[in-house]
Structures are given as C-alpha cells and as structure tokens.
Chain A
Amino acid sequence: NAGVTQTPKFQVLKTGQSMTLQCAQDMNHNSMYWYRQDPGMGLRLIYYSASEGTTDKGEVPNGYNVSRLNKREFSLRLESAAPSQTSVYFCASSATSGPYNEQFFGPGTRLTVL
C-alpha cells in the first residue's frame, strides 16, 4: 500500500517554462488537494478536488491549473513558471464521507524556478 505518491521529487525550471506535477493515491479517497509550503510557513491550499469530476480554487490558485484525471490521480500544472512559485508542493487525499477528514500527504516535490 503506497498511500500518496508524487512525481517528480525535485525539479528545476527556468522562468517561463511549464511543467506538470503528478499525484496518485491508492486509498480510494474521494478528495484530493494540492498545497504549497514556503520556508517557515504552514501549508497553503492551491486547489482541491472534492470528488472525481470536480475541482475548485483554494487560497493561492493564481498561476496554477489542475486536472482530476480519475479518482486516483490529481495533477498540478504550472503553465509559465515564475520565481515566486519556488516552493515545496504537497499532494494530499482524504475520504470525503464519514465524520473524519484526516488528510494523508505525499512526500512532496521541491521546485526551484530560476
């Protein structure tokens, strides 16, 4: 049972380049999330998908797009990377139904934009 997996683990981009961060979960969770974490700060929500077929903006969506490809996979795309997007990106998932909303996190992608 792998939980939440993310690829790549590290990436360096030049300003203006594009890339897609991949995330997959094998826990049959309905909800998936993308966060960014900057040095000394907590996690800020970029986008989330409450269920397959839906996506919605979080706290800091500008400069990003997402795709909920199926129930397992949720990708984050940077169309034109900027230095301000240098950060560590975490994907997470949670079961929507029931009284609990614990989120399980992937190992993160460290992105540097030069």
Chain B
Amino acid sequence: EDKVVQSPLSLVVHEGDTVTLNCSYEVTNFRSLLWYKQEKKAPTFLFMLTSSGIEKKSGRLSSILDKKELFSILNITATQTGDSAVYLCAPGRDDEAAGNKLTFGGGTRVLVKP
C-alpha cells in the first residue's frame, strides 16, 4: 500500500519568513512527485519532480527530490499572505495501465500573517 506523510501538519508564520514543508513517501514503481497548492477550492499544480537532486524553482518557491531517501521538500521564501494555503504532496506511479495514479498526502496548512 502506498504511503505519503507530510509534516508539519500546520504552521503559522509572518510575512517575510521562510517555510520548509516535508513529504516522505513509499510508492510502488515511483515515477514522479507532484506538489499542489490548495486554497479554498481545487488543488492547483506547482511542481513535478522526476529526478533526484534536481531543484525546481518558480519565483519564491523551490522544491527538491531525494529518490534514495524517499522524500521531497518544498521551500517558500519571503512568504506573503497569498501563500496561505494547504500544500499537498502527491507521488505518482509509473503504471500507465493504472492511469498514472497519484497518492496524496494529508497536506500541510500554512498560514502567513501580515
């Protein structure tokens, strides 16, 4: 059974702080790891990582994958109130017949205060 654990469950920071979100996983036939941001509605895609040691960056967000130790980190620097959301980690399988299933972690709720 695939397992995904995200930590911390929640955190509160002030604008300008840096946050680090953790995701550990155990997934059969691992293909990639995706990060999503969920505000009040549907999750929106942030990153996809497929290789270890490759850091993806998009503005103030960055993420890295360690396929040996089976974890990923999402960093947000210079946080803004608009970063307040639940961040979901989702490893995906290399299994086309199974429709490329993702297994979602429980998420980390981030609240950025002014």
Query: Is B107 a contact partner of A42 (Cβ separation < 8 A)?
Result: yes
Closest to A94 in B: B100
Specify the chain A residue showing the minimal Cβ separation from B98: A50
B104 touches A43 (CB 8 A): yes
Q: How far is the CB of A16 from chain B (nearest CB, A)?
A: 29
Does more than half of chain B's interface fall in helix, strand or loop, or is it mixed? Answer: mixed
Partner of B99, one of A44, A50, A105: A50
Also in contact, A97 and B104, with CB within 8 A (given A102-B45, A107-B41, A108-B41): no
Q: How far is the CA of A56 from the CA of B101 in the complex (A)?
A: 11
Q: Is A101 a contact partner of B100 (Cβ separation < 8 A)? A: yes
Within 8 A of B (CB), among A59-83: none
Interface of A is mostly: loop
Asked if B100 contacts A104 (CB within 8 A), the reply is no
Write the chain A residue with the least CB distance to B50: A99
Choose one: B42, B92, B97, B100; the contact of A108 (CB below 8 Å): B42
Task: Spell out B's residues near A (CB within 8 Å).
Answer: 4, 6, 31-32, 34, 41-45, 48, 50, 88, 90, 92, 96-107
16 intermolecular pairs with C-beta atoms under 8 Å apart: A33-B101, A41-B107, A42-B106, A45-B101, A45-B102, A48-B99, A50-B99, A96-B100, A99-B32, A101-B92, A101-B100, A101-B102, A103-B45, A103-B102, A107-B42, A108-B41
